[in-house]
Amino acid sequence: MVPKKLKQLELIFVKGKVDIVSKFANLILCGVWTS
């Protein structure tokens, strides 16, 4: 039960991390594109 919950949290954390990285990359790309 506990390992499954941990795995779920890990998945959410990784997903959130990827989301932040992709958003950051988009901001940088937009900044480069407009300048």
DSSP 4-32: HHHHHHHHHHHHHHHHHHHHHHHHHHHHH
DSSP assignment letter at 34: H
Global pTM reads 0.54
Predicted confidence (pLDDT) per residue in 5-34, tens digit: 889 989 999 999 999 999 999 999 988 877
* Confidence tier at 3 by pLDDT (50, 70, 90): confident
SS3 category, 1: coil
